Structure 1
């Protein structure tokens, strides 16, 4: 038995058919040969795109020469209504300035400070599930709820039940389902002043989310001024000046950053957790092992996280098979030559965790769920060279350490109390919205242990 993959597509399709398939589902549109190719070229009437799977090329783009391959504006256009000029979309000096302010909030010591809020959110999730014992539940909704709760508790010191937090969560669920990772602006070179291909509903939902976030940031700014603000991530970020200019984020910039914290910290964690629960339901032996590990520890302290070896390996394997952000796009700023092939200036360079993590020439049994692989020589090598769920290099996700505490913690607390079982005839099919989700949700049965 193997975990589900997207609907397979033929290796060769016309450009226009590819665009139709792409619009329906980014993952299923990709030809099978990309899971064994080191490099592939894709041509449109407007630009060339190169997908790279060869580890040394990926290292060049993400680690060795990142300034020569900034984030592509073609990706940015699809996310601009919600994220504005957040750190996820900017490049160059602006991006460096933003990271200098944001990074201190996610240093190792801060993770220990936020841990009690993570535990409280995980316990609240365990308590909510009690009413659904014996029932079939849609797990993406469950994991979205708990991941959003973690973000609001750690960022603003409020639970998901807080009035504004609940509204942001509800609006964001609408947004993520209607907004693909790429929109048609990714394929059509148009001037910046030309209106983009965003639906009116997408623009309206993004505007509503940003207005709600603006309320939270304005309230926090007032609390900081009055000396009554809690010592959480929002306070830390809003009071950290750029060391070069001594200026902090203004309100507009903080709205942009909170939007990406919510996207990166909630949407991606929710995706990975839901797929992890499905994988564990598919492989009950592994689920029992995790439950035993969790029960031996009880309610974890921060120091216990190093003992959740199995939970961490399962979460890591879920991130390998179903990386929340399946593709990253960079742009060549000068002529390059990859694998003896000319790559013109302006070309789009696609780094795809989705393909890299399942590459047939890199991984042993790439399509199999095997958390034990991380202790093997192949697993260790691939973790160094071919595993990038949080990107890599200077632009590695600021919250990667946060996610690798949050994910194993929530898994262990859920499995200590409940068993998750598959439902016959209900196999999830992965598709790409803002992150890798299931086409019709992930449905499992919850049983109390």
Structure 2
């Protein structure tokens, strides 16, 4: 049986400086193979302790039972600060709670139906773009990035990506994505506030460019809201929603922070997942044929027929298991704790790795295999509850999780209804973690008509 590719694991023992070099190059291959079966592992530095946890009971404690006792760690957030500012992805405590009270209503179930036509329009545009390249070998991640960005702009600001300012944001973000590692120097060293964080010049410049462009779009939308001419899209919904406790709305500067994370989370993660899904379906053509057959049998423009795309949904769920776009989450202890009979100090870093949890060989049957049918088995159902969190879990679960699942399923259905993706003679892609899980040298596939 052919297994999908995964990165090589390092030796169990390396020095801190070797580990830092590995970590900055690729967070996944920096980890030892034993983490695929460990319940918990400790990593010591002269400055802090870090614990990677694969125990579902402990993860439930961190994310669901006591989430306020384990806030997000600034060690990770500092690397994204130039782009995300004070967005909901980075904040903690009352600031985060206020932001979620305003944001969450935009992603409630009824709103998904309202955004569905925009998702379909972007999916149809993506299928047409693929169709124009039949017979060619194409780098799939570039195409899925374009498609995912189109979804974000259509649903958030009612503008397709070929609008000039949307295209400018997309190009600036591509530059940012290539220049920004998942962690920077602050992840390893206790730097004072005044010390530079080691951002590359191109990272700072592209982040500033993105924020300037988003500010312009948001200013224009606020003017439309004030004039009563704003379209009823996600941006308008978020910008006009009042905090039920204070009655306040986001001002424009706050909205820029939130739009930055919507673009990062909604575009970058979706692009990653869709690219890996297409690669997996090229690797397993029998599943691709089942997805295509399902798509041809449904009216893809009808929201009520989403339930008929069950195979496509299971394929996308399995892709998110094998290649979770966000491979790890980091929290910090606010006081002394005991994890699995081990004393843990205040200020310790708690790493929950979706990448390892989703492949934990004590939990999953055939953890490295692509098996969309697993979701109907007892093992799959059990692991779906306890060991599957591509969108996190608990109060900090991604507010756009339902949105992302619809987007991924619709994109696959529209693209594969009339087209086929095939492997090329190039080597298999090697997963690496930048902002999300991408392929080291890209994912190359050939597009042919059915």
- Give CA deviations for 1:173-229 in whole Å, capped at 9, x if unaligned: 111111111112111111223221111110110000000000000000000011110
- Give CA deviations for 1:132-190 in whole Å, capped at 9, x if unaligned: 10110111011111110000000000000011100100111111111111112111111
Give the whole-Å Cα distance in 1 for the aligned partners of 2:215 and 2:151.
Answer: 19
Counting only pairs closer than 5 Å after superposition, residues 179-218 of structure 1 correspond to structure 2 as 179-218=180-219
Counting only pairs closer than 5 Å after superposition, residues 29-428 of structure 1 correspond to structure 2 as 29-428=30-429
Per the normalisation by structure 2, the TM-score is: 0.99
Unaligned 5+ segments in structure 2 are none
Secondary structure of the corresponding residue to residue 259 of structure 1: helix
Whether the 8 Å CA contact 2:117–2:301 is kept in 1: the answer is: no
Secondary structure of the corresponding residue to residue 255 of structure 2: helix
Whether the 8 Å CA contact 1:242–1:248 is kept in 2: the answer is: yes
Give the whole-Å Cα distance in 1 for the aligned partners of 2:426 and 2:200.
Answer: 34
Counting only pairs closer than 5 Å after superposition, residues 12-31 of structure 1 correspond to structure 2 as 12-31=13-32
Whether the 8 Å CA contact 2:218–2:255 is kept in 1: the answer is: yes
Give the whole-Å Cα distance in 2 for the aligned partners of 1:347 and 1:355.
Answer: 20
- Give the equivalent residue in structure 1 for 2:6: 5
Q: Supply the RMSD in Å over aligned alpha carbons.
A: 0.7
Secondary structure of the corresponding residue to residue 68 of structure 2: helix
Secondary structure of the corresponding residue to residue 262 of structure 2: helix
Whether the 8 Å CA contact 1:171–1:209 is kept in 2: the answer is: yes
| Deviation of the 1:45 alpha carbon | 1.0
| Deviation of the 1:29 alpha carbon | 0.5
Whether the 8 Å CA contact 2:184–2:197 is kept in 1: the answer is: no
| Deviation of the 1:425 alpha carbon | 3.2
Give the whole-Å Cα distance in 1 for the aligned partners of 2:347 and 2:383.
Answer: 30
Secondary structure of the corresponding residue to residue 448 of structure 2: strand
Whether the 8 Å CA contact 2:272–2:437 is kept in 1: the answer is: yes
Whether the 8 Å CA contact 2:8–2:29 is kept in 1: the answer is: yes
| Deviation of the 1:399 alpha carbon | 0.2
Give the whole-Å Cα distance in 2 for the aligned partners of 1:337 and 1:439.
Answer: 38
Whether the 8 Å CA contact 1:71–1:89 is kept in 2: the answer is: yes
Whether the 8 Å CA contact 2:156–2:235 is kept in 1: the answer is: yes
Whether the 8 Å CA contact 2:300–2:306 is kept in 1: the answer is: no
| Deviation of the 1:93 alpha carbon | 0.2
Give the whole-Å Cα distance in 2 for the aligned partners of 1:173 and 1:212.
Answer: 14
Give the whole-Å Cα distance in 2 for the aligned partners of 1:169 and 1:416.
Answer: 27
- Give CA deviations for 1:27-62 in whole Å, capped at 9, x if unaligned: 110110000000000001100000000000000001
Unaligned 5+ segments in structure 1 are none
Whether the 8 Å CA contact 2:179–2:200 is kept in 1: the answer is: no
Whether the 8 Å CA contact 1:426–1:443 is kept in 2: the answer is: no
Tell me the matched-pair count: 449
Give the whole-Å Cα distance in 1 for the aligned partners of 2:121 and 2:196.
Answer: 44
Secondary structure of the corresponding residue to residue 197 of structure 1: coil
Give the whole-Å Cα distance in 2 for the aligned partners of 1:423 and 1:268.
Answer: 24
- Give CA deviations for 1:395-421 in whole Å, capped at 9, x if unaligned: 000000000111001101111011000
Give the whole-Å Cα distance in 1 for the aligned partners of 2:56 and 2:270.
Answer: 25
